[in-house]
Amino acid sequence: MKILVTIKRVEDYESKIKVKPDGTWIVTDGVNYRANPFDEIAVEEALRLRDANMPSEVIAVSVGSELSVNEIRSALAMGADKGILVKQAGWVDSDAVARCLQKVIEREKPDLVLMGKQAVDVDDNVTGQLLAEYLGWGQATFASKHESLESAEEKAKKPGVKLAADKASVEVIREIDGGLETLSVKLPAIVTVDLRLNVPRYASLPNIMKAKKKPVEELDPKALGVDVTPKVKVLKVEPPPARAAGIKVPDVAALVQKLHSDAKVI
Amino acid sequence: MDFSLNDDQQRLIATARKFTKEKIIPVAQKLDEHGTFPSEICKEGWELGLMNGEVPQEYGGLGLSTLDHVLMQEEINFGCAGIGTTLAGNNLAAMPLILAGTEEQKKNYLGQLTDSCSFAAYACSEPDAGSDVAGMRTTVRKVGDEWILNGIKRWITNGAYANWYTTFARTGDATDRHKGITCFVVPRDLPGVSVGRKEDKLGQRASNTCDIIYEDVKLTKAHLVGAEGQGFKVAMKTFDRSRPWIAAGATGIMRRALEECTKYATERKAFGQAIGQFQAIQFMLADMAMKYEATRLLMLKAAWNIGQGKLDAIESAYAKAFGADSAMQVATDAVQIFGGYGYTKEYPVEKLMRDAKLLQIYEGTSQIQRMVIGRSLIAAASAGV
Ligand SMILES: Cc1cc2nc3c(=O)[nH]c(=O)nc-3n(C[C@H](O)[C@H](O)[C@H](O)COP(=O)(O)OP(=O)(O)OC[C@H]3O[C@@H](n4cnc5c(N)ncnc54)[C@H](O)[C@@H]3O)c2cc1C
C-alpha cells in the first residue's frame, strides 16, 4: 500500500504570536515553527496503516519554503520512508497547495492520502476537500475512532482507519456534530484526520539518525504546471480583543448579584 | 568557533524534552516520595533510544558522541535527576567494556543491553573505599585457570535490577595499591552473587542504589576485562568520559530551578509587588543563570574534547566539579526564592536541592575533582609545560 501524507510547517502554538503594527500579518521574528499537529496525527496513522499492511510505503509531502524540509524530516524521523518538498517561498493559499498536491499525487499514484483536517496557522480546513474534488476521488474528513486515546487499542498502535480485506476501500469513523459516523470510502481516497484519532509517536533517536539517509526530493510548482498566484488575499490581521481584568467580589450575595445583572447567566 | 547545534542534535533534544515533559515530570514527585524504580519510564525510554546512547552501533547501540549524550541527559535531568541517573547507568557499566573489553564480551554484554530493556551496573565503591579507589578490599584469588571473587560493593546504581556488574577487584597485594586492581564483568546469575540492602536516600530516590555481595564467585578468563592489573586505569578512563554526564545532571537541575524561580518571582507578591521586582531576588536569579550558562559551556567543551579524541581528565573534572557545586548552590537559592513554600513538597524546588547534592558525591566527590585538577596543574608546572 502506498500512503501519501501531508505535513505543513506552521507557527508553534506555544510561541507568543503578535500582530504586526500595520495589521498585514503576524510578527515572525522570534516565533518557533513546527509541524502542524493535525498532520502529525496523519503521519502517525499512515505509519500504523503501513505497519499493519506490509509491504507499504509512506511518503511525506510538504508545500512551502525550503525551511519546510525540517517538517518533512520530522515525519521521516517518526518513521516515514521518503519525502517530497514542493518548494515555494512566501504565502501559498490552500487552493494552490491543493493543486500542487494534485500534481504530486498524479505522479506518485498513492492508494491513500492522509492529511490533517486543517493547519493550525490559518485554520482553513479546505485543502483536503479541494484536493478530493480536483482528483475526482472520494473523501472522508475528520477521521476519529470509537476507542479512547487511553485504550488498549491505542497503546497497541492499532490503526483507526481500517483497510478492507479486499484492500479496495477503507473504513473511516468521522467526528460529526454530536456523534460519530462510519463511512466506507473506495480507494484511492483522501482522508483528513481529527484530534482524537491517535497520539503521535515520538521521533526515536534511532529513527532520527536513520532519517538523515532518507531521500527528500524537491519539486518546483512551475515545473508541475501549477500557477501558485494566491486567489485569496489577506486584507487585515487583528489580534483578539484583550481580556478585561477579573474582579473580586466581597461575598456570595455580591457574586449572585453580578452573575444576574452583569453576566446575565442566572 | 561555532556554538550552533546540528539538525540531529536539535531533534534529539526535542524528543528528550517532549518525553521529559509528558512522561517524567508528571510522575517524578511520586516516584521520589516512595523511592519507586521508574520501570515504565525506562521501558519507554529504552524504545526511544534514551538508555544506551554511547554503546557503539556494532552492538546495537546508537554510538552517540558524548556531546549528543549530554544534550539528551540535560533534558531528562530537567524532569528528574533520579531518572537521569537511572537512564545513564547502563552507559557507565558499558564504558569499561567499550574501552577494554574483548569483541566477544562486547557482543554478549552490550548486546544484552540493546536487545531488550535491561540493566547493568558499575561496581567500584565499597563500604570502606569510595574516594580511595585504590584502597578497595574486594579480592580475586587465582586458583588454576580460575579466579575466586569475594567482597562487598556499596552504593551500586541500578544494582538490584542489573543482569551484570562491571566489577573492580584486587588481584594483587593490598600494598600494590592501584596497580593491583583488575576489571571483570560479573553476570548476576553466577553462583555467589547476591543483592544486598537497598539504600534509603536523601535525593534521587527513584534511582536504585544497593549493595552487591560476592561470595566465592568463580570467574574465568572470559570475565576478565582488559589486562590483569589494568583495572584502575580503566576505571579512571571511564570517569573521564562519564563526568561530563554529571555536568549534564547539573545543567538540567539548574535550568529547571531557573524556570521555576523566574515564574514564581513574577507571581508571588510581597510588600505590594511581585518579588521578582526586588533587586535581591533579581541578583539571585542572575547568579543562577550565570552558573547554568558557565556549566553548560564547560560541559560542552569537555564533551567536545572527548569527541575530538582529546580525552582530558582536567576538562571533565572542571565540568563535573563546577557543575555539581553550582547546581547545589542554585537549587539551594531556588528554595530560598520560594520561601516557606520552597521548603515543602508542594513545589518542586526542594527535590532539586536534594537531588543536586548527589552530584557533588558520586563519580568522584567535588574534593576529588579538585585533587585531579590541582595535581594536573602542579604536574604540568613541574614538567615545565
Ligand atoms: C546514590 C549514589 C550512587 C552511587 N553509585 C555508584 C555506582 O553506581 N558505582 C560505584 O562504584 N559507586 C557509586 N557510588 C559511590 C560514590 O562514588 C562514592 O560514595 C564516592 O566516590 C565517595 O566515596 P565515599 O562515600 O566512600 O566517601 P569518602 O571517600 O569516605 O569521602 C568522605 C569525605 O572525605 C573527602 N575526601 C576523601 N578523600 C579525600 C582527600 N584525599 N582529600 C580531600 N578530601 C577527601 C570526600 O570528598 C568526602 O567529602 C554512589 C554513591 C551514591 C551516594
pLDDT, tens digit, 9 for 90 and up, residues B209-260: 999 999 999 999 999 999 999 999 999 999 999 999 999 999 999 999 999 9
Question: Quick one: B362 and B377 in the same domain?
Answer: yes
CB within 8 Å of B280: residues ≥ 6 apart? none
* B116-135: pLDDT as tens digits: 999 999 999 999 999 999 99
Cell 496523519: give the residue. A42
> In this predicted structure, what is the pLDDT of residue B175?
82
Residue/partner pairs of A26-35 with CB below 8 Å, 24 or more apart: A26/A237, A33/A9, A33/A67, A33/A70, A33/A71, A34/A9, A34/A10, A34/A71, A34/A74, A35/A7, A35/A8, A35/A9, A35/A10, A35/A71, A35/A74, A35/A75
* B38-81: pLDDT as tens digits: 999 999 999 999 999 999 999 999 999 999 999 999 999 999 99
Contact A205 B47 (CB under 8 A): no
Give, as one character, the DSSP assignment of residue B129. Answer: B
Question: Quick one: B145 and B70 in the same domain?
Answer: no
Question: Quick one: B221 and B242 in the same domain?
Answer: no
Query: Which of B7, B8, B11, B52 would best serve as a mutation to test chain A binding (most A beta carbons within 10 A)?
Result: B11
pLDDT class of A69 with cuts at 50, 70, 90: very high
Q: How would you classify the pairing of strands A179-186 and A169-176?
A: antiparallel
> Which of A70, A74, A206 comes nearest B49 by C-beta?
A206
Which residue has a Cα nearest atom 27 of ligand 1?
A: B130
The residues with which A138 forms a beta bridge, in sequence order, are A189
Residue/partner pairs of A24-32 with CB below 8 Å, 24 or more apart: A24/A234, A24/A236, A24/A237, A25/A234, A25/A237, A26/A237
- pLDDT surpasses 90 at B176: no
Cell 547554568: give the residue. B292
* B320-347: pLDDT as tens digits: 999 999 999 999 999 999 999 999 999 9
Question: Quick one: B167 and B300 in the same domain?
Answer: no
Question: Quick one: B221 and B263 in the same domain?
Answer: no
What's the total number of domains in chain B? Answer: 3
Which residue has a Cα nearest atom 16 of ligand 1?
A: B362
Q: Could you tell me which of B156, B178, B176, B174 has the C-alpha nearest to residue B166?
A: B156
Question: Quick one: B293 and B351 in the same domain?
Answer: yes
Of B74, B75, B350, B363, the catalytic one is B363
Query: For residues A139 and A191, is the Cβ–Cβ distance under 8 A?
Result: yes
Q: Which of B174, B201, B229 is the last residue of a domain?
A: B229
Query: For residues B19 and B48, is the Cβ–Cβ distance under 8 A?
Result: yes
Q: Which amino acid appears at position B87 of this protein?
A: L
> Which of A77, A209, A211 comes nearest B62 by C-beta?
A209
For the domain with range A2-261, which CATH number is right: 3.40.50.620, 3.40.50.300, 3.30.420.40, 3.40.1380.20?
3.40.50.620
Question: Quick one: B270 and B314 in the same domain?
Answer: yes
> In this predicted structure, what is the pLDDT of residue B385?
62
Determine whether the shortest distance from the Cβ of B157 to ligand 1 is under 6 A: yes
- pLDDT surpasses 70 at B278: yes
Question: Quick one: B265 and B348 in the same domain?
Answer: yes
Average pLDDT over residues B195-216: 98
> In this predicted structure, what is the pLDDT of residue B312?
84
Domain-embedded: residue B206: yes
Mean pLDDT over each residue of chain B, to the nearest integer: 96
Give the domain ranges of chain A: 2-261
The full DSSP string for A102-140 is HHHHHHH--SEEEEESS-TTT----HHHHHHHHHT-EEE
Domain-embedded: residue B48: yes
Shortest CA distance from B53: residue in chain A: A205
Interface confidence, given as ipTM, is 0.88
CB within 8 Å of A188: residues ≥ 6 apart? A109, A110, A111, A112, A113, A135, A137
CATH number of the domain bearing residue B225? 2.40.110.10
Atom of ligand 1 nearest to the CA of B157: 8
Q: Which of B194, B229, B264 is the last residue of a domain?
A: B229
Alpha carbon dihedral B99, B103, B109, B113, in 10-degree steps, equals: 80
Determine whether the shortest distance from the Cβ of B329 to ligand 1 is under 6 A: no
> What range defines the domain where residue B287 resides?
233-382
> In this predicted structure, what is the pLDDT of residue B107?
98
Question: pTM for this structure?
Answer: 0.91
Determine whether the shortest distance from the Cβ of B158 to ligand 1 is under 6 A: no
* Contacting residues of B for A70, CB less than 8 Å apart: 7
Determine whether the shortest distance from the Cβ of B365 to ligand 1 is under 6 A: yes
B361 Cα to the center of ligand 1, angstroms: 6
Q: Could you tell me which of B364, B126, B83 has the C-alpha nearest to residue B241?
A: B364
B308 Cα to the center of ligand 1, angstroms: 30
Interface of B with A (CB under 8 A): 7-8, 11-12, 14-15, 18-19, 47-50, 53, 62, 64, 72
pLDDT class of B174 with cuts at 50, 70, 90: confident
Domain-embedded: residue B1: no
Determine whether the shortest distance from the Cβ of B367 to ligand 1 is under 6 A: yes
Atom of ligand 1 nearest to the CA of B126: 26
DSSP 3-state of B289: helix
pLDDT class of A263 with cuts at 50, 70, 90: confident
The residues with which A180 forms a beta bridge, in sequence order, are A175
Contact A205 B19 (CB under 8 A): no
Domain-embedded: residue B252: yes
Question: Quick one: B53 and B80 in the same domain?
Answer: yes
* A99-128: pLDDT as tens digits: 999 999 999 999 999 999 999 998 999 999
Contact B64 A202 (CB under 8 A): no
Our answer to whether residue B363 is catalytic in this structure is yes
Phi, psi angle pair for A223, to nearest 5°: -65, -30
